[in-house]
Amino acid sequence: MSNGPIEVLVLGFPGNEFSGEILPELARLVAGGQIAILDLKFVAKALDGQVVTLEAVDAGNEEWAELIVSDSADYVEDEDFQDVADMLDPGNSAAILVFEHLWAKSLTSALIGAGGVLLFNARIPAE
């Protein structure tokens, strides 16, 4: 079966105040088969401008590590960290979330089977 669409979200956390409240919702989406998390990394910019990066699997939290597809490719590279760090003001952080829309896999297969192609795709953020 074909892959579903892959999406990258950069989620900002002003003041480096990341409490982890997003974890239960991500776990629900993974458990429900709606998404597969392919990569999850964190970037923080200290008040002095120094950039710190952390992979979720190295964060010391087993719950984070269990959400990520173990055999997935490394989607976030060093230059991506710098691009995200450039978005941040000192004293702020972000999470880079790469996930596959599993719910769309059968739709993608049906489209291909019908000889169709995707002509346009857009996302309108909730805010």
Ordered by start, the domain boundaries in the chain are 6-113
* 79 token code pair: 């230059």
* Global confidence as pTM: 0.83
Digit-coded pLDDT (tens) for 77-95:
878 888 999 999 999 999 9
The confidence score (pLDDT) of residue 1 equals: 43
* 127 token code pair: 């805010």
* DSSP run (H or E) holding 96: strand 92-101
The confidence score (pLDDT) of residue 72 equals: 63
The answer to whether the beta carbons of residues 78 and 96 sit under 8 Å apart is no
